[in-house]
């Protein structure tokens, strides 16, 4: 049985899609994966070209070290592209494998669902970039999260960066994952599935929060020195 993959149609028909994943071959799915992958690279490259996250490099330009500045920008662009690849692979392959271990649902089945998650993350980042581009500046915390509001009462960086990872998109991700993956779980296991999905998101948020407060750049500079 063959099924021509349609992103939005499949999203709106989870029962039909999960049955197809079990029994048939999906035509056009790999092209969608490649499209999302390329869009990730283009988005991260566009953010880098605009200067998002490169504020520290402007001191080289201001001090008339133009050659060093352009080399630094080139290396920064390569780093952004590499990070886009790592980010995509982590969420598409890494999280899929983690969910496979936690649920025993076949890896390839979960991977079909995880493409939606990666696409939602892409859309969230694209919207953030579009807003930042429109207003002409960036903010440390996402307006999709409660971090900007929490900043008024919390001054602990680790907590703020952790909260910043828990956005509206996180709720959407958990909802879509449960909507599809629950079709492959026994009725008695569905409540535990929700817990597992939430724990995965909390773990990733805590990990990013921890990494965000570490002086990684200083460590690298010290190691190279």
Rounded to 10 degrees, the C-alpha dihedral 84/87/91/97 comes to 120
Structural domain of 206: 2-224
Q: Measured between alpha carbons, how far is 199 from 29 in angstroms, rounded to an integer?
A: 29
pLDDT 10s digits, 21-37? 888 678 888 999 999 99
Three-class SS of residue 190?
Answer: helix
Structurally, the chain folds into a number of domains equal to 1
Distance between CA atoms of residues 90 and 174, nearest Å: 17
| Average pLDDT over the chain, rounded to an integer | 86
101-141 confidence digits (pLDDT tens) = 999 899 999 999 999 999 999 999 999 999 999 998 888 89
Is residue 64 classed exposed, middle or buried when 0-12, 13-18 and 19+ CB atoms within 10 A define those classes?
Answer: exposed
Specify the pLDDT at position 64: 58
167-184 pLDDT, tens per residue?
A: 999 999 999 999 999 999
């Amino acid at each position: 049985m063959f099924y021509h993959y349609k992103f939005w149609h499949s999203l709106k028909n989870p029962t039909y899609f999960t049955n197809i994943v079990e029994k048939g071959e999906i035509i056009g799915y790999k092209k969608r994966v490649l499209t999302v992958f390329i869009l990730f690279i283009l988005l991260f490259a566009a953010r880098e070209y605009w200067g998002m996250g490169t504020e520290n490099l402007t001191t080289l330009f201001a001090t008339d070290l133009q050659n060093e500045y352009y080399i630094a920008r080139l290396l920064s662009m390569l780093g952004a592209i590499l990070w886009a690849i790592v980010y995509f692979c982590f969420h598409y392959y890494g999280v899929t494998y983690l969910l496979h271990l936690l649920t025993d649902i076949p890896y390839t089945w979960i991977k079909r669902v995880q493409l939606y998650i990666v696409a939602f993350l892409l859309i969230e980042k694209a919207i953030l970039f579009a807003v930042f581009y429109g207003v002409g500046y960036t903010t440390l915390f996402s307006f999709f999260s409660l971090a900007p509001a929490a900043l008024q009462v919390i001054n602990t960086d680790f907590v703020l960066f952790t909260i910043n990872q828990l956005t509206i998109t996180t709720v959407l991700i958990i909802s879509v994952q449960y909507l599809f993956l629950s079709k492959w779980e026994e009725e008695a296991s569905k409540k535990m599935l929700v817990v597992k999905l939430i724990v995965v998101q909390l773990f990733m948020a805590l990990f990013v929060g921890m990494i965000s407060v570490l002086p990684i750049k200083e460590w690298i500079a010290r190691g190279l020195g």
